[in-house]
Amino acid sequence: MNDDEIWTLFGNAFSKARAVAPSESFVNGVMARIETLEKPAPVYVKPVQPVFRWFLPALAYSFAFILMFTAIAIRQTPINADSILLADIPENSQWMVSEDEPVPDEVLTLEEGDD
Protein backbone atom coordinates (compact mmCIF):
# COMPACT_ATOMS: atom_id res chain seq x y z
CA MET A 1 0.00 0.00 0.00
CA ASN A 2 1.28 3.35 -0.86
CA ASP A 3 0.62 6.58 1.00
CA ASP A 4 -2.29 7.65 -1.18
CA GLU A 5 -4.20 4.45 -0.50
CA ILE A 6 -3.59 4.74 3.24
CA TRP A 7 -4.90 8.31 3.30
CA THR A 8 -7.90 7.28 1.23
CA LEU A 9 -8.76 4.56 3.77
CA PHE A 10 -8.39 7.01 6.67
CA GLY A 11 -10.54 9.56 4.84
CA ASN A 12 -13.30 6.99 4.24
CA ALA A 13 -13.17 5.87 7.90
CA PHE A 14 -13.45 9.42 9.25
CA SER A 15 -16.12 10.48 6.79
CA LYS A 16 -18.39 7.71 8.05
CA ALA A 17 -18.50 9.33 11.47
CA ARG A 18 -21.97 9.59 12.93
CA ALA A 19 -23.54 12.99 12.40
CA VAL A 20 -25.00 14.70 15.43
CA ALA A 21 -28.75 14.78 15.24
CA PRO A 22 -30.29 18.22 15.65
CA SER A 23 -31.89 18.63 19.03
CA GLU A 24 -34.46 21.15 20.13
CA SER A 25 -32.97 21.48 23.61
CA PHE A 26 -29.68 22.82 22.20
CA VAL A 27 -31.50 25.32 19.98
CA ASN A 28 -33.71 26.44 22.86
CA GLY A 29 -30.66 26.90 25.11
CA VAL A 30 -28.88 29.05 22.53
CA MET A 31 -31.98 31.16 21.93
CA ALA A 32 -32.45 31.73 25.68
CA ARG A 33 -28.82 32.76 26.01
CA ILE A 34 -29.21 35.23 23.13
CA GLU A 35 -32.29 36.73 24.78
CA THR A 36 -30.44 37.29 28.06
CA LEU A 37 -27.51 38.89 26.26
CA GLU A 38 -29.76 41.22 24.26
CA LYS A 39 -31.57 42.60 27.30
CA PRO A 40 -30.05 45.92 28.30
CA ALA A 41 -28.60 45.93 31.78
CA PRO A 42 -29.85 48.68 34.08
CA VAL A 43 -27.33 51.48 34.13
CA TYR A 44 -26.73 53.30 37.38
CA VAL A 45 -24.96 56.59 36.98
CA LYS A 46 -23.78 58.21 40.15
CA PRO A 47 -24.28 61.95 39.89
CA VAL A 48 -21.04 63.87 40.26
CA GLN A 49 -21.18 66.85 42.50
CA PRO A 50 -20.15 69.95 40.57
CA VAL A 51 -18.02 71.07 43.50
CA PHE A 52 -15.68 68.07 43.20
CA ARG A 53 -14.82 68.92 39.60
CA TRP A 54 -12.78 71.93 40.74
CA PHE A 55 -12.36 71.44 44.49
CA LEU A 56 -10.21 68.29 44.51
CA PRO A 57 -7.69 69.54 41.90
CA ALA A 58 -7.51 72.91 43.65
CA LEU A 59 -6.90 71.19 46.97
CA ALA A 60 -4.14 69.05 45.47
CA TYR A 61 -2.42 72.06 43.87
CA SER A 62 -2.59 74.05 47.08
CA PHE A 63 -1.11 71.14 49.02
CA ALA A 64 1.75 70.89 46.51
CA PHE A 65 2.26 74.66 46.71
CA ILE A 66 2.49 74.56 50.52
CA LEU A 67 4.89 71.60 50.38
CA MET A 68 7.14 73.39 47.90
CA PHE A 69 7.40 76.56 49.98
CA THR A 70 7.91 74.57 53.17
CA ALA A 71 10.79 72.71 51.54
CA ILE A 72 12.30 76.00 50.38
CA ALA A 73 11.95 77.56 53.83
CA ILE A 74 13.62 74.73 55.74
CA ARG A 75 16.42 73.88 53.33
CA GLN A 76 19.93 74.25 54.64
CA THR A 77 22.42 76.63 53.16
CA PRO A 78 24.89 74.83 50.91
CA ILE A 79 28.26 74.15 52.46
CA ASN A 80 31.22 75.68 50.68
CA ALA A 81 33.83 72.99 50.07
CA ASP A 82 36.64 75.55 50.07
CA SER A 83 35.88 76.59 53.63
CA ILE A 84 36.13 72.97 54.79
CA LEU A 85 39.32 72.25 52.86
CA LEU A 86 41.02 75.48 53.89
CA ALA A 87 40.17 75.24 57.59
CA ASP A 88 43.55 73.84 58.68
CA ILE A 89 45.76 75.77 56.22
CA PRO A 90 47.41 78.98 57.43
CA GLU A 91 45.83 82.12 56.07
CA ASN A 92 48.85 83.29 54.09
CA SER A 93 49.06 79.93 52.24
CA GLN A 94 45.38 79.64 51.28
CA TRP A 95 45.87 81.39 47.94
CA MET A 96 47.47 78.22 46.55
CA VAL A 97 44.26 76.15 46.82
CA SER A 98 41.55 78.78 46.44
CA GLU A 99 39.97 79.95 43.22
CA ASP A 100 40.54 83.64 43.99
CA GLU A 101 43.28 85.53 42.23
CA PRO A 102 46.18 86.02 44.68
CA VAL A 103 47.31 89.51 45.60
CA PRO A 104 51.07 89.83 45.08
CA ASP A 105 51.62 91.37 48.51
CA GLU A 106 49.92 88.39 50.17
CA VAL A 107 51.94 85.90 48.13
CA LEU A 108 55.26 87.47 49.07
CA THR A 109 54.00 88.39 52.57
CA LEU A 110 55.24 91.91 52.10
CA GLU A 111 53.95 94.73 54.19
CA GLU A 112 54.41 98.45 53.92
CA GLY A 113 57.07 98.68 56.61
CA ASP A 114 59.30 95.79 55.40
CA ASP A 115 62.52 96.61 53.51
Kindly report the pTM of this predicted structure.
0.29
Successive 10-residue mean pLDDT values, the chain, 115 residues: 85 75 82 86 76 85 94 80 69 60 63 54
Q: Give the C-alpha distances (Å, rounded to integers) separating 18 from 2, 4, 14, 21, 25.
A: 28, 24, 9, 9, 19
Q: What type of residue is 4? A: D
Ordered by start, the domain boundaries in the chain are: 47-74
pLDDT of residue 86: 67
Question: Which whole-number Å values give the CA distances from 86 to 77, 80, 99, 106, in the listed order?
Answer: 19, 10, 12, 16
Helix (H, G, I), strand (E, B) or coil at 77: coil
